[in-house]
Amino acid sequence: MTTANAPTTTESSKKDDPLYRALADVFGYSSFRPRQESIVRAVLAGRDVFAVMPTGGGKSLCYQLPALLLPSVTVVVSPLLSLMKDQVDAAKRNGINAATINSVTTSDEWRAIMAGIDDRRLKLLYVSPERFNSESFKETLRRADPSFFAIDEAHCISQWGHNFREDYLQLGQIADMFPDRPIAAFTATATEQVGNDVKTSLKLRDPFCVVASFDRPNLFYQIAYKDDFDRQLLDFLREVGDEPGIVYRSTRKKVEQTTEFLKKSGFKTAGYHAGMSDEERIRAQEDFANDAVQIVVATVAFGMGIDKSNVRFVVHGDLPADVESYYQETGRAGRDGAPARCALFYGYQDVAIRRKFLDDYEDETARVAAAKRLDEMVRFAESDGCRRVNLLRYFGETYRPIDLASDENGDPQSRPAATRCGACDFCVGSAERVDATIDAQKALSAMQRTGNRFGAGHIADVLVGSKTEKVVAMGHDELPTFGVGADKTKQYWRYLIQALLTQGIAALAPDFDFPIPQVTSLGWDVMRGKRKVMILKRPDKKKKTKKSASVASILSAAANPYDKSALNARDRRLFETLRALRASVAKAEHVPPYVVFTDKSLVDMAALKPQTPEDFLLVNGVGRAKLQNFGAEFMDAIREFLRDNP
């Protein structure tokens, strides 16, 4: 993929520029995030656009802002009803005339939409790809003569990417139906192959291409082998505190088990998977959006429709299918720019299950592509070095540190490259790798000498020299490998065998009903001394690790002005007062709290304490519509707080 440049506005001319006036008056921002302005100006100039921007990077503004300045309606194709509803609610709260057409649109709503199209008052019309492909909607489009088209989650059009949606393939008709109207395609994640596929399928014409940095500097990444996930999850949740988050599991059964476990452990938790009824899924999603539950445990069915800005953590309890899915799912944390945590726990069972899922592919080309993506995911999880550096390298990007304290970070290529981010478990020293080649040779020898017919537990018994009934009955206490690992625990040897399986040095035998590790060709290289084995060092549970303190210091309030922990004790109480008011207003308005004001806006209010309309407009994310709708109530709350807390 290549990037291009479009003209931007100088500081001296901003106050007279209608683009900047709309940015401030409608959205409440004084400046653009990196790449936003160039994208908006390209659309206004009539150019097609292909933009890869990270989750939380401000994609929606890139089509909502030009929609305000163009004469007729802008059509936004989006994959999920819930996502469209949230975007329409948010646009309306900013004073933008927006609507959505879907399967539950009433006749009165339809008439209002058509009236808005005819008199050109309607600026944004959201539609699903399925609805877009209907002949009746195409007739509506011809009548509307849209100013331009925005395709959200554009990677869904590519069979080479994740979340492929067949209905997206029909969107290539737009260029034929409206050859003189610009098309802007947006995605948060796309390899070069996926990007080329998107541009070809949508028939983009000499598109203005932007590949923003994939780096999410406010996210802390950590990866660990899974030995007791329930315990590991509880330890993690104690570290992050009482914050909202998502726990991903690979199957419905695991979702249900983890949901029940967290409920019994005292957490407000909801489950979410495709086997639930529509009503149950909608209730879980709405309860999470409205802060009625703290944690959602979900399969990947809980995905693109999540627009909640203050998700403080994402946990993967199983290995994701590919790196793109991992990136997309972790990207649901910290959309507001404040610090957030992303933890992945995985084991060899996860790899085996994922490989079994590959059997469901009917198309051989698709199966091979999925297998390749899975191998890349395993390599990422097992790789040495900085997590962020390795993650960005997958997308063809060199890591160049970003200043968290500023939204205006400029062109990533202008910053120097780095090999450590200082904000992942590897960089803070809690993911140290050690040479385990000799121990691996012992374990592989034990597998081979026992005939490659016994599970990891039995192999561990042989290595530690445990004379169990089975070991003695099989005569394995007479083997040369019996007791050669007595200096380590049985748990350690099971952990090592899991690492060998994950790295492909051992593999599960295909002809047994239970997991039997066997030596692979890579394993023979290890046994012959031709290959080293590096594994994650297991932390000493008796010693306090550096992880908690390091995460707190790396993702500190000093690095991010919109982290609520940056507030002093008095301002934090004001923040909580404003948050309670926001919840009350949101309930009355029948919208999620973050649609009224984001946490970022509330932190700014608590710090600035605005008491006049002019000062209230200085709050991040407050435009004239939000000032008019909510300003008086929130300023009254601030005045009352200051009277009670002089």
pLDDT in tens, 598-643: 888 998 999 999 999 999 999 988 999 999 999 999 999 999 999 9
| Mean pLDDT of the 561-567 span | 67
Cβ count within 10 A of residue 504: 17
| DSSP 8-state code for residue 414 | G
Using one digit for the tens of pLDDT, what is the confidence trace for 171-189?
989 999 999 999 999 987 7
77 vs 379: CA distance, rounded Å: 35
pLDDT on residue 401: 81
pLDDT on residue 1: 43
pLDDT on residue 626: 94
Alpha helices in 122-178 (DSSP H): 129-132, 135-144, 173-177
pLDDT on residue 406: 46
Structure tokens at 47: 């150019």
- Do residues 94 and 27 lie in contact, with contact meaning Cβ atoms separated by under 8 Å? yes
Residue appearing with tokens 């919109």: 562
The answer to whether the predicted template modeling score (pTM) of the entire model surpasses 0.75 is no
pLDDT on residue 545: 44
227-260: b (≥16 Cβ within 10 Å) or e: eebeebbeebbeebeeebbbbbbbebebbbbbbe
| Mean pLDDT of the 557-585 span | 80
Per DSSP, the residues of 74-126 read EEEE-S-HHHHHHHHHHHHHTT--EEEE-TT--HHHHHHHHHHHHTT---EEE
Structure tokens at 412: 């990533």
Using one digit for the tens of pLDDT, what is the confidence trace for 287-313?
998 889 999 999 986 755 567 888 999
Which of these, 131, 137, 129, lies nearest to 163 by C-alpha position? 129
296 vs 288: CA distance, rounded Å: 7
Cβ count within 10 A of residue 469: 7
Give the start-end residues of each E strand in 308-349: 313-316, 340-346
Phi (first) and psi of residue 355, to 5 degrees: -65, -35
553 CB burial (10 A radius; 0-12, 13-18, 19+): middle
381 vs 596: CA distance, rounded Å: 38
Averaged pLDDT of the chain: 85
Using one digit for the tens of pLDDT, what is the confidence trace for 57-101?
788 999 999 999 999 999 999 887 777 888 888 899 899 999 998
- Do residues 194 and 327 lie in contact, with contact meaning Cβ atoms separated by under 8 Å? no
- Do residues 8 and 37 lie in contact, with contact meaning Cβ atoms separated by under 8 Å? yes
530 vs 200: CA distance, rounded Å: 45
| 476: Cα within 13 Å, side-chain hemisphere | 30
Give the start-end residues of each E strand in 323-474: 340-346, 433-435
pLDDT on residue 505: 92
Structure tokens at 510: 């295909």
What the chain holds in terms of domains, given with CATH numbers, is: 11-211 (3.40.50.300), 219-430 (3.40.50.300), 434-536 (1.10.10.10), 567-644 (1.10.150.80)
96-105, 165-174, 479-488: which is most confident:
479-488
pLDDT on residue 3: 47
356 vs 624: CA distance, rounded Å: 54
230 vs 239: CA distance, rounded Å: 14
Whether residue 549 has pLDDT greater than 60: no
pLDDT on residue 48: 96
Under the banding of pLDDT at 50, 70 and 90, the label for residue 546 is: very low
